[in-house]
Amino acid sequence: MLYTILLALCFGILEGITEWLPISSTGHIILLRHFLPITLNDAFFELFEVVIQLGAMCAVILLFFDTLWPFLRKKSAEDRRATLALWGKILLATLPAALLGLLLDDVIDKTLFNPQTVTITLIFYGVLFLLVERRKRIPRITDIADITPLDAIKVGLFQVLALIPGTSRSGATILGGLLIGVSRPVSALFSFFLGFPTMLGAGALKVLKFCLSGETLTGSEWLILAVGTTSAFAVSLVALRFLTDFVRRHTFSAFGLYRILLGVAVLLTFLL
């Protein structure tokens, strides 16, 4: 039991670090699961994965509550309208991945959730990050309020790529933002906000499937969920602050290089 609790802690920490950085949380979890002996059954582990993502999501709510909640007393009528407009763009950007995710969820789970797919996507998008950051450009959008509904849809279409494990939801949306002329800080911030409805929807779908399967949770499994979720939440607070500060002063090239090195290391592991 102690080993399982430590395992839940490791997965929670990994989720908290990688969910918001453009390096693929799902990819890292697949790889860690591949290399560490797992004592949890598959149905529960699928539930565990999405529940700890919800823990990570709660960190966004805490850190950006003032920005995302339109009904704060200190907000003027104009501020409320701006916040509601932001929510409209967030939901608009969420639609493409949500619709395709509902249609292809089972197919993706069965065919693409493996270390080989993760290796390929880690390297491919790592190279893409390096290429995008080599371009000299002046951002067209430097404030999140300036993102238009059309811009939101474009970023949402990039988020569809994240249905493939190893791509990274934050990585796909940040890349999309950069390519359409959004500044690095705003791309990262909009990516954080997109995580809320995306992970909430994915989590609700997985929980529903678990309940319909007739599975029930034991006391030890509730403890495992609590440990993983709490650690993901706590570490996400640090990761969100880190990335928010980092992109004000640096490019995403370091993350691209990390993805390539990790992908090569995994590839060599399988070859050897």
Model confidence pLDDT, tens digit, residues 29-83: 877 877 777 777 777 887 888 889 888 999 999 999 999 999 998 899 999 999 9
Burial of residue 224, with CB atoms counted within 10 A of its CB: 0-12 exposed, 13-18 middle, 19 or more buried: buried
Nearest to 48 by CA among 29, 20, 27, 22: 29
Domain coverage including residue 252: 2-271
In angstroms, the Cα distances linking 77 to 61, 81, 104, 122, 153 are: 22, 6, 41, 44, 26
pLDDT of residue 185: 94
Report helix, strand or coil for 141: strand
- What's the rounded Cα separation, in Å, for the pair 176 and 159? 8
In angstroms, the Cα distances linking 57 to 145, 179, 200 are: 22, 25, 8
CB 181 within 8 A of CB 121: no
Write down the pTM of the prediction: 0.87
Residue 64 corresponds to which tokens in the numbers above?
A: 């950006």
pLDDT of residue 102: 75
Render 146-183 in DSSP notation, one character per residue: G--HHHHHHHHHHHGGGGSTTS-HHHHHHHHHHHTTB-
pLDDT of residue 108: 74
Residues in the chain with pLDDT values less than 70: 105
Chain length of the chain? 272
CB 155 within 8 A of CB 171: no
Q: Per the structure, how many domains does the chain have?
A: 1
pLDDT of residue 195: 85
**One-letter amino acid for residue 94 of the chain:** T
